[in-house]
């Protein structure tokens, strides 16, 4: 599923690290970045999370919330956040409802076997609650900086 630029962002409400909850309703009126990753504390996901953490002062200065979403349990996410000092919310979506709504639940293939899993992707939602940018099939290197440039372009 591909997201349409300018379309309303899919609704969501998820538990997140630090006893927080994240929802479309609570973020209305300000832009936010929601990114989807396969699994906490794996090399690629750690690199991506740390890149967003490094850029967090810039995102925060622009009033932009960053949210990471995976199917991991809250316990695994809390451990991951603590291990790498991740200050932004990591949300748990074990049923993959929000993941699917944002187009990140995809058929994958490994060793000839097909299965459903999370495609690393990022979505920028504008202050009006509409999809401003969608990055499917994210390559980690330089991605957080690319997202920040798109946030700056929102104006």
* Residues tagged active-site: 45
Q: What b-and-e string marks burial along 96-115, b requiring 16 or more CB atoms within 10 Å of the CB?
A: bebbbbbbbbbeeeeeeeee
């Amino acid at each position: 599923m591909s997201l349409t630029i300018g379309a309303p962002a899919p609704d969501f409400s998820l538990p997140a690290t630090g006893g927080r909850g994240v929802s479309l309703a609570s973020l209305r009126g300000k832009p936010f970045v929601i990114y989807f990753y396969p699994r906490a504390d794996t090399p690629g996901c750690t690199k991506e999370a740390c890149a967003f953490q490094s850029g967090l002062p810039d995102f925060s200065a622009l009033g932009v919330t960053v949210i990471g979403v995976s199917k991991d349990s809250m316990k695994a996410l809390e451990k991951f956040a603590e291990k790498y000092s991740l200050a932004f919310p990591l949300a748990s979506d074990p049923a993959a409802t929000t993941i699917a709504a944002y187009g990140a639940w995809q058929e994958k293939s490994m060793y000839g076997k097909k299965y459903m899993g999370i495609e690393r992707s990022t979505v920028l939602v504008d202050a009006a609650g509409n999809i401003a940018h969608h990055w499917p099939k994210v390559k980690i290197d330089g991605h957080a900086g690319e997202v920040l440039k798109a946030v700056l372009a929102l104006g």
